[in-house]
Structure 1
Amino acid sequence: MNTKLILPFALISALTLAACESRTEAPETPNPDAGNPEAFAEPVEEPDAPAETMSPEEMQQRREEIEQDAQQTFESIMEDSQEAGDTIVEMGDDAMSALSEQMTSAGDAIEVQIDTLVDNAAQMRDDNMTDEQKLQVVANVRSAAEEAARALGQTAPEVIAAGDTAEERARQVLGLE
């Protein structure tokens, strides 16, 4: 029973001694950069310093080149800005045209609705209708025209104008002028 316990300890001790024997010795001269993360960093590029001092003529020429590059960059930016401004104006014009077209479409739709209401009133006309019945038809036509205008998103004055137009035309076809 004791040999079962001693054998694993002996095996572990032998492995430990074997691992220690293959150990690398420390270098005689220590490396000053060992363990220093900055030693492995990318070198920082220093700005190119002219090997020689520039003459006044070379400095003037270099200044003119820089000014010319700056002027070209400025002109390019201004051109791009102008194009962007033109695009925005064009988009605004397109939006206004679309809005105007929608307003025209709404106005046309109201006119068609009024025409239909007046035609229906004309078909209902009967020589035996009393003035009270005719006035009720006119009131119904006006109310329907105003509702149509509201449904198309018209303003309050536009709704009233649609009602006025429908009422006037219904009165004419029913002979209530």
Structure 2
Amino acid sequence: MYELFFDTTNYRLAVLLMKDDLITDFINEDKQLKIADEFLPVIDKILVNNNLSLKDINVIYTLIGPGSYMGIRVGITFAKTLLLLNENLKVFAIDSLAFQGNSQDKTISLLDARGNKTYLAIYNDGTEIIPKQVIPNDLLNDFFDKFKDYHILKDNIDLDYPEVFLKLKSQFIYVNNIDELKPLYIKSFI
């Protein structure tokens, strides 16, 4: 069974291929400003490198945001398209703050929301204790002061995608039908 994981939600484009629960290939393109242009060629490269086609993929794992609006739409549209073409395909999703934040115990998970704002959630032993939100960057120090013994993880920098994926694979949520696969956009009311 072939499984494909991808993250298109921020500046890093990550695509991982597994066969029978073993990682067989991984591409991590850093500082991608044009994920919409780069995503399909990276998918193609992984498939060609492993003598596969899209019809060989049995399961997809994707991140649904928050993050780059364009990146989120690219990943979700790709997953929905494959699901339409292959009704036997299984799709699983998780939000990008949880993916980064649950990589370690006691974490402040931060993603650039642009416009001097940051997406934030705080996790303790896998439980979200401060819910996902958008905050102005000038309020970040308030959270850092309150949660001094927490790891600060920002924009997936130094995130070991294969390791984190294997750790969190069971936390991805099964998407029962195509209408359930929706982007997670967090709006700012500030």
Same fold at TM > 0.5: no
Q: TM-score, normalised by structure 2?
A: 0.20
User: Given the two structures, how large is their TM-score scaled by the length of structure 1?
Assistant: 0.21
| Greater strand proportion | 2
Higher CA-based Rg: 1
